[in-house]
Amino acid sequence: MQIVEKSGEGLSRVFGVTVPVADLTQALEARIAEITPTLNIKGFRPGKVPTAHVRRLYGKALMSEVVEKTLTETTQKVLEDNKLRPAGDPDLKPEGDMNAVIDGKADLAYEIAVDVMPDFEPVDPATLSLKRPVYEPTDKEVDEALADLAKQNRTYEPRSGKAVKAKDGDLVVIDFLGKLDGVPFEGGAAEGAELVLGSGQFIPGFEEQLVGAKPDSDVEVKVTFPENYQAETLKGKEAIFEVKVKEVKAPVDAPADDALATRLGIENLEKLRELLKGNLEKEYAGASRFKLKRALLDQLDTKHDFPLPPKMVEAEFASIWQQVEQDKAAGELPPEDLEKSDEKLKDEYHKIAERRVRLGLVLAEIGRANNVQVTDQELGEAMRQEAMKYGPQAQQVFDLFRQNANAQAQLRAPIFEDKVVDLIVGKAKVKDQKVSKDDLMKDDDLPAGYGE
């Protein structure tokens, strides 16, 4: 085998590899000899099939196996002999006629293009100084959360009187039949449906036309389905719903008392308040951690400057830009990006891609130096949590995760990142800083240079 380094600029390496046809033929003969005793071919006793017959029947298929195995082994040898740490899967580019190689008439020649990991010394976590924003929920916030919970658990009672009319916030019990050009459409009918007016549960314009309706009345509701409606056959279409209003019920607020707590499965009101306060504390602790992590990543970004593997950056940018184009097509670009040209957006998002790759490499190196590992138990729990999001298909999704190494890698990455972040925070100088709720919960701006 002959290996020649063709180029080595920056972090990119290109090697030329040539494996003589004689070596391939020798490997093929060894493979034929390996499988011949196991073959059961009509007309021959087991283990007595002539090698020439095996070569005639399976030669090309076996040579394809030999070539594939040779590519893997020689590529690994190139990386090991040159002490390279690849920053991704190497790209292999065959040279010459591969059909001739499979036929055993030509050498196997190919190029290996690979980006290598940069050599750098990560910052010592003990030298970092960070401020952790903290905020404790007040009694007033707990009261507000309790009031919202009581509102969510309100009941509805039939309105009484001579001139009962549905108001915004009332619950109406309705039968309805939807039609397009006078023809009922699939999924456009229901009986005994409960609808809280003003809840936004139905398509825009539907609920408003039922305000003022009386019990046992018929209402014709005219609407236009949104252009982004999930059913293709209904997008942008005008429809008429024949609605029968059967009942009109007024909301009755549930008092925030022990009875409410009991209905929710809580011992008493005091325990319910403790639970709500704990939920708020958990929410604010999550926001605090997010801010601290962002501050840490900003410091790690500014304290490291080293060459980045080009292909890794381009792959990250391609992923980001694909999402940008999807958002643009759906009219969901952030307001600050609406007036920017593609050239401007690509420049900004390319910087973000570089930042992500740089931080990923820094965290990976710190994690490697400190032997941070994601355990099988941690990965298994992440797989279970993700699978549970799919309801009845949870077991099927979980089984797919167990069989798919790439899917597992996507779940392992954020676990590893969080463990490294926790390690760094544990070694850094961290000072708690009391802030207002608004400051804690507001969105952070991009770092300087990554957008206006």
Tokens 């400057």 found at = 305
- Say what angle helices 405-427 and 269-302 make with each other, to 10 degrees: 90
Q: 44 falls in which pLDDT band (50, 70, 90)?
A: confident
pLDDT for res 338: 87
Classify domain 2-115 at the CATH superfamily level. Answer: Trigger factor ribosome-binding domain (3.30.70.1050)
Query: CATH 3.30.70.1050 spans which residues of the chain?
Result: 2-115
How far, in Å, CA of 69 to CA of 60, rounded?
Answer: 14
Query: CATH 1.10.3120.10 spans which residues of the chain?
Result: 285-441
How far, in Å, CA of 306 to CA of 300, rounded?
Answer: 12
pLDDT digits (tens, 9 = 90+) for 14-28: 999 999 999 999 999
pLDDT digits (tens, 9 = 90+) for 115-124: 999 999 999 9
Fold that domain 285-441 belongs to in CATH: Trigger factor, domain 2 (1.10.3120)
How far, in Å, CA of 234 to CA of 217, rounded?
Answer: 27
What's the Rg (C-alpha) of the chain? 33
pLDDT digits (tens, 9 = 90+) for 308-332: 999 999 999 999 999 999 998 888 8
Strands (E), 65-214: 91-95, 108-115, 129-134, 155-158, 171-180, 183-196
pTM of the model: 0.74
pLDDT digits (tens, 9 = 90+) for 388-440: 999 889 999 999 999 999 899 999 999 999 999 999 999 999 999 999 999 99
pLDDT for res 46: 76
| Beta strands 129-134; 429-434: pairing state | parallel
Q: Is 114 helix (H, G, I), strand (E, B) or coil?
A: strand
Indicate whether 305 pLDDT > 90.
Answer: yes
CATH for 155-252 is: 3.10.50.40
Mean pLDDT of the region 264-293: 95
Amino acid of residue 369: A
pLDDT for res 192: 95
Query: CATH 3.10.50.40 spans which residues of the chain?
Result: 155-252
